[in-house]
């Protein structure tokens, strides 16, 4: 059941695909015992699935996602314990206990026809639940749908038929960079009434057309796992007697104090990503 590799067969420490091919097809149980968090992924354990092998692995890499008691065995508590020798010793004990009490029992307990029913049940669950999810087909499909197709569409949209749009974007970038230092936020007022917050601002975009800027109300994320708030202000009347000055306003409902919100101006063009491509920003003072 457990194969070992002759030390002379292993010529180097790089991944030997010929040895791996034999192993992933030939073993009943793939034992993988890295110290957390050193398992980068554990793709060899995934290769075992389609061959009907089971995994007994540290709860690290893919196994931390994939493990369920019906599909294999898990070592560790999913936490990191550094190089603590006491923890290593307790995991070694746990490994032998799993092998002796769980693996060996399930593998050698045979029915009248000589079939290890408990083992076969796990093989079926492992193949049925995990093979489709942890496969190259799924990965390539997901990358294609999520990233490659939208990147290709964005490339086509940006290039246009004759790249005229790219030239237009270059002109826009040059103009916007040249005049950005002239952008300013002159007046900001906040009216806070209960949970209603109204913000008014006067913004001057200098020589830049008003569509080249986006005026927004910004506040840092309230919780570590939340995104910052970015709410666009609406452009109103031009400011009389000014060049490139406009009134902006927005009304929101919030439980947060008004001081959490700042007005800022960022560059805006439907094809140019901010902050990746310009990063231009002007904050209220
Ligand atoms: C499967 C495979 C790996 C991954 O090995 P793991 O350490 O098990 O994740 C690396 N290199 C090659 C060529 C492989 O086929």
Give pLDDT tens digits for 61-97.
Answer: 999 999 999 999 999 999 999 999 999 999 999 999 9
The answer, yes or no, to whether any atom of ligand 1 lies below 6 A from the CB of 151, is no
Same domain for 85 and 27? yes
Residue 205 lies in a domain: yes
| Cα-to-centroid distance, 46 and ligand 1 (Å) | 10
User: Could you write out the DSSP letters of every residue in 141-198?
Assistant: HHHIIIIIHHHHHHHHHHHTTTSHHHHHHHHHHHHHHHHGGG-EEEEEEEEEETTEEE
Residue 169 lies in a domain: no
CA 191 to chain CA centroid, Å, is: 38
From 43, 48, 60, 135, give the residue whose CB has the most ligand 1 atoms within 8 Å, as the site to mutate: 43
Which residue owns the Cα nearest ligand 1 atom 15?
A: 17
Q: Please check the confidence at residue 191 and state whether its pLDDT lies above 80.
A: yes
Residue 167 lies in a domain: no
DSSP bridge partners of 29: 54
Geometric angle at alpha carbon 132, from 130 and 136, rounded to 5°: 110
Q: In what side-by-side order are the strands of the sheet with 29-32?
A: 29-32, 54-58, 72-75
| Cα-to-centroid distance, 241 and ligand 1 (Å) | 69
pTM: 0.64
Residue 3 pLDDT: 52
Q: Please check the confidence at residue 9 and state whether its pLDDT lies above 80.
A: no
Range(s) of the domain holding residue 265 = 179-283
Same domain for 128 and 51? yes
Same domain for 122 and 18? yes
User: Could you write out the DSSP letters of every residue in 19-54?
Assistant: HHHHHHHH-SEEEE-PPTT--S--HHHHHHHHTT-E
Residue 143 lies in a domain: no
Geometric angle at alpha carbon 198, from 193 and 203, rounded to 5°: 155
The answer, yes or no, to whether any atom of ligand 1 lies below 6 A from the CB of 165, is no
Given 66, 100, 134, the domain boundary residue is 134
CB 66 within 8 A of CB 93: no
Q: Please check the confidence at residue 1 and state whether its pLDDT lies above 50.
A: no
Mean pLDDT of the chain: 93
Instruction: Look up residue 32 and give its two tokens.
Output: 């993988």
- Number of structural domains the chain divides into: 2
Query: pLDDT grade, residue 6 (50/70/90)?
Result: low
Same domain for 242 and 127? no
Query: Which has the closest alpha carbon to 192: 113, 103, 260, 240?
Result: 260
Residue 154 lies in a domain: no
Residue 40 lies in a domain: yes
Residue 262 lies in a domain: yes
Kindly list the distances between the CA atom of residue 39 and the CA atoms of 69, 78, 135, in Å, as whole numbers in the listed order. Answer: 20, 12, 18
Residue 160 pLDDT: 76
Same domain for 85 and 21? yes
Same domain for 120 and 14? yes
Same domain for 128 and 24? yes
Instruction: Give the tens place of pLDDT for each residue, 148-176.
Output: 999 999 888 888 788 888 999 999 999 99
Here the CATH number for the domain that contains residue 119 is: 3.40.50.2000
CB 59 within 8 A of CB 67: yes
Same domain for 117 and 36? yes
- Other beta carbons within 10 angstroms of residue 43's beta carbon come to 15
The answer, yes or no, to whether any atom of ligand 1 lies below 6 A from the CB of 42, is yes
Same domain for 12 and 117? yes
Same domain for 130 and 11? yes
Residue 112 lies in a domain: yes
Same domain for 129 and 208? no
Here the CATH number for the domain that contains residue 274 is: 2.60.40
| Cα-to-centroid distance, 18 and ligand 1 (Å) | 11
Q: Please check the confidence at residue 7 and state whether its pLDDT lies above 60.
A: no
């Amino acid at each position: 059941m457990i194969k070992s590799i002759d030390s002379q067969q292993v010529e180097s420490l790089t991944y030997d695909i010929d040895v791996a091919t034999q192993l992933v097809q030939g073993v009943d149980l793939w034992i993988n015992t890295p110290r957390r968090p050193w398992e980068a992924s554990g793709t060899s354990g995934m290769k075992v699935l389609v061959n009907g092998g089971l995994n007994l692995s540290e709860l690290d890499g893919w196994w931390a996602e994939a493990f369920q008691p019906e599909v294999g065995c898990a070592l560790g508590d999913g936490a990191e314990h550094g190089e603590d020798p006491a923890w290593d010793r307790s995991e070694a004990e746990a490994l032998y206990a799993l092998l002796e009490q769980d693996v060996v029992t399930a593998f050698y307990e045979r029915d009248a026809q000589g079939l290890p029913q408990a083992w076969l049940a796990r093989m079926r669950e492992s193949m049925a639940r995990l093979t489709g999810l942890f496969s190259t087909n799924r990965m390539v499909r997901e990358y294609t749908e999520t990233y490659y197709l939208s990147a290709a569409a964005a490339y086509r949209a940006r290039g246009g038929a004759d790249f005229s749009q790219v030239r237009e974007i270059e002109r826009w970038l040059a103009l916007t960079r040249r005049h950005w230092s002239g952008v300013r936020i002159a007046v900001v007022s906040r009216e806070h009434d209960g949970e209603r917050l109204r913000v008014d601002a006067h913004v001057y975009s200098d020589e830049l057309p008003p569509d080249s800027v986006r005026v927004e109300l910004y506040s840092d994320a309230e919780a570590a796992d939340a995104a910052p708030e970015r709410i666009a202000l609406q452009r109103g009347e031009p400011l009389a007697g000014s060049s490139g000055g406009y009134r902006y306003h927005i009304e929101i409902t919030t439980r947060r104090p008004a001081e959490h919100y700042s007005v800022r101006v960022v560059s805006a063009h439907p094809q140019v990503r901010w902050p990746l491509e310009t990063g231009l920003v002007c904050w209220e003072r």
